[in-house]
Amino acid sequence: MKQLLIILLSFTVKLLLSQNNESIEIQQVDIVAKKPLHEIAKSTNKIDSLVVKETVNESMAELLSEHSTVFIKQAGRGSLATISFRGTSASHTDVLWNNISIKSPMLGQVDFSLIPVFFIDDIDVFSGGSSIEKSTGALGGSISLQNNPQWNDSGKVKLILSYGSFNSTQDFFQYNFFNKNFKSKTRIFLNYSKNNFKFKNKNIADIDPVTGEYIYPIQENINADYTQYGILQEFYYKTQSGINLSVKYWGQNNDRNLPRLNSFEGDDYANISNQKDKIHRLVFSADYYLNKTKISVVPAFVYQNMIFEQSNYISGLGYQNIIYSESYNKSSYNKLIIRHNFNQNTEFNFNASYNYDNVSNIDTVDNQGYTKQRNELILFASLNKKIGERFGFSLMAKKYFSPDNSMPLSPFAGIEYILSKKQNISVKANISRNYRNPDLNDLYWQPGGNPNLKPEENSSADLSVLVNKKYKKTYINTGLTAYYSDVNNWIIWLPSPFGYWTPYNIQHVISKGLEANLKFSTNIENIKLKFIVNYAFTSSKNYGKTSNWGDESYGKQLPYIPVHSFNFTGNIEYKNYGVTYVNNSYSERYTTSSNNTTIRDWLYPYYMNNISFYKNFRLKQNYKLSINLKIYNMFNEEYRSVLGRAMPGINYMFFVKLGF
């Protein structure tokens, strides 16, 4: 690695010596576009392009936790990262990649630590009932990840090489080939980390015999290294007959050792865990434009394989598996999308999807598992209408059909009204009803699956006020949203009389809160300033059956859901020098349904602070070079995202980015 850094620095010096110091002042151009009709009355948020650019080396888990109002629960660096959207569980959020769901049909959730931001061009967040158009069963919301051809991007090569703390490397490469009607984009990434940071273990302590104070040991995060690598290949072709074709393939391998809980007091040869994931995703798309109608056909295929093993060392026999669980799913998705504009103020949409899942799970140690198939047909229709210059409405409905468990109609109704055109102030309101089928593990897991589970039911309402202002070179976008969500038949796993856990329709959860955001940008001569602020107040409480659920949990905040979430991104750029500061803060979180506040069952608030310094160079022959130093957890905060899982203190990453 040292030799690689020497080569990089030598190459950088040569490029700098050939730098063209001439600069051209380009006059600012304002681009104004009408709001798409299908966005009327929807609660949506597009992740800022600055954020995507600054976090290109990170996972989707890190981006969303630092730059949106959702909460990411991460079981350690490089480990499982799941989402909580408006106080709901991970299974209540869907994730779509180019219009197909990538959540596991077995687990019903997505591991956001396995999604590299480098592979994504556009990120949109749909809250509450606004997710009905994109997803099925997303009671909390959905995340839409898109790739696009970017025909105006003339760059051919992008290269990012990095090295940082804990012997970590993050390397990314992109190559574009294009002409007038065809474009190919190839992206490759490789991440590795030994992940052996030191931490203070507050789950194990000695007592000072003199002072009586606790003495916590300093330990190393062992058996925590991980390797991730993958490729994203995209082909785009524009025909002469008005048909646009695309093919996208995403292949990825992940191999990660999983550290033991901090409270584990066994020897170093027990409970050694490893997880391997292999993922293949293939999406075809054909878009046909005919007068006022766009017709899209999207077939897709997904294969996912996961192997989890845990072993103990036995003298004379070596390491022996106590768990060896292998699961896979083979899925096909077929979607027809029709969008017709009767005129510039009226739009009709119709979607039809047929999906098939074939899943299997087996633990070869205890010889338990299951194999199941699921077929589903989903129909969707919407009407989006703008009336006059101020008013618009949206009506949506989705119907889910399955041989195993069909669900009632999921409706959505929303309005949007411009209160002041001069001040650019608008208000949105929508109501919806949505349903989610149990995951296959909920139904068939051995032992404990419950095939009699009912679909979860959700009623929700949103009210938003938005303000967009422009004054010379200053832009201000701000919004405030109040929401209410009522979920019945919430599925939760509880101990059964037979000694194992099983899921029940037992919980009734009411989630309500506020979401606020602010985006501010301005130019002052050679100085560019940009600030992005997000805040969420989330009250998500259980009102389930006390006879089964327990009196201590009634009316209490759900485990791991912070009441207050806040993040701030500030960027200042002077000529080609820049600094970006990110703060990510959460209030206390409980790890028990009774909201126990003992030190073992309570996660104290934390305030994460990251900062990066960069310098951009414009070189001869259209070369672009950027040098970036990122400091994570700059104040060396002691924090935990999940009980018993260590997180690193202050750490660093150095990047060299080259493009031409």
Which amino acid is present at 490? W
Among 95-99, 458-462, 556-560, which stretch is predicted with the lowest mean pLDDT?
Answer: 556-560
Closest C-alpha among 296, 147, 152 to residue 232: 147
For residue 340, is it within any domain?
yes
Closest C-alpha among 280, 325, 561 to residue 441: 325
Kindly state the tokens that stand for 343: 């005129």
Q: How confident is the model at residue 426 (pLDDT cuts 50, 70, 90)?
A: very high
Max CA pair span of the chain = 85
pLDDT average, residue stretch 497-519: 89
Q: State whether residue 315 is helix, strand or coil.
A: coil
Backbone angles phi, psi at 517, to 5 degrees: -145, 155
DSSP letters spanning 114-133:
G-BGGG-SEEEEEEGGGGTT
For residue 40, is it within any domain?
no
* E strands, 364-455, in order: 368-387, 391-401, 410-420, 425-436
Give the pLDDT confidence score for residue 660 in this predicted structure. 87
Q: What is the dihedral of CA 21, 151, 174, 119, to 10 degrees?
A: 120
Question: What CATH number is given to the structural domain containing 607?
Answer: 2.40.170.20
For residue 41, is it within any domain?
no
Q: How far, in Å, CA of 499 to CA of 520, rounded?
A: 56
Residue 476: domain span: 2-21+47-659
Kindly state the tokens that stand for 281: 């995703």
For residue 380, what are the CA distances in angstroms to 348, 377, 401, 429?
Answer: 11, 10, 12, 21
**Residue reference for tokens 């015999």:** 209
Give the pLDDT confidence score for residue 6 in this predicted structure. 40
643 has pLDDT over 70:
yes
3 has pLDDT over 50:
no
**Residue reference for tokens 């969500």:** 485
H or E element in which residue 283 lies? strand 272-290
Closest C-alpha among 50, 66, 612 to residue 74: 66
What's the chain's Rg over C-alpha atoms? 26
Q: State whether residue 211 is helix, strand or coil.
A: coil
Name the domain count of the chain.
Answer: 1
For residue 508, is it within any domain?
yes
Q: What is the mean pLDDT of the chain?
A: 89
Q: State whether residue 613 is helix, strand or coil.
A: strand
For residue 38, is it within any domain?
no
Q: State whether residue 55 is helix, strand or coil.
A: coil
pLDDT average, residue stretch 37-55: 87
Give the 3-state secondary structure of 437-448.
CCCHHHHHCCCC
* β-strand pairing of 589-590 with 624-632: unpaired
**Residue reference for tokens 């490759």:** 188
Strand partners, 455: none
Backbone angles phi, psi at 442, to 5 degrees: -60, -40
* E strands, 496-526, in order: 501-524
Q: State whether residue 358 is helix, strand or coil.
A: strand
For residue 42, is it within any domain?
no
Each residue of 215-233: pLDDT tens digit?
888 999 999 999 999 999 9
Q: How far, in Å, CA of 531 to CA of 366, rounded?
A: 54
Strand partners, 514: 482, 537
Please state whether the peptide bond connecting residue 408 to the residue before it is cis, i.e. omega within 30 degrees of 0. no
249 has pLDDT over 90:
yes
For residue 36, is it within any domain?
no
Report whether 64 contacts 83 (CB < 8 A).
yes
Q: What percent of the chain has pLDDT over 90?
A: 66
For residue 32, is it within any domain?
no
29 has pLDDT over 90:
no
Residue 195: left (phi > 0), alpha (psi -120 to 50), or beta?
left
Is 420 exposed, middle or buried, given 0-12, 13-18 or 19+ CB atoms closer than 10 A? exposed
Sheet with 122-127, edge to edge strand ranges: 44-46, 122-127, 141-146, 93-97, 100-101
Residue 13: left (phi > 0), alpha (psi -120 to 50), or beta?
alpha
Q: How far, in Å, CA of 351 to CA of 437, rounded?
A: 20
pLDDT average, residue stretch 60-76: 90
More confident residue, 620 or 318: 318
Give the pLDDT confidence score for residue 540 in this predicted structure. 94
Each residue of 305-342: pLDDT tens digit?
999 999 998 988 888 999 999 999 999 999 999 999 99
Q: How confident is the model at residue 214 (pLDDT cuts 50, 70, 90)?
A: confident
Report whether 351 contacts 336 (CB < 8 A).
yes
Closest C-alpha among 364, 304, 328 to residue 114: 304
Q: State whether residue 12 is helix, strand or coil.
A: helix
Nearest 5°: the CA angle 170, 175, 178 is 155
554 has pLDDT over 80:
yes
Among 254-268, 526-540, 578-592, which stretch is predicted with the lowest mean pLDDT?
Answer: 254-268
Q: How confident is the model at residue 22 (pLDDT cuts 50, 70, 90)?
A: very low
Each residue of 372-396: pLDDT tens digit?
999 999 999 999 999 999 999 999 9
pLDDT average, residue stretch 158-165: 95
Among 17-21, 122-126, 200-204, which stretch is predicted with the lowest mean pLDDT?
Answer: 17-21
pLDDT average, residue stretch 39-50: 89
Q: How far, in Å, CA of 192 to CA of 517, rounded?
A: 35
Strand partners, 235: 184, 247
pLDDT average, residue stretch 70-81: 89
Report whether 535 contacts 481 (CB < 8 A).
no
Backbone angles phi, psi at 119, to 5 degrees: -85, 0
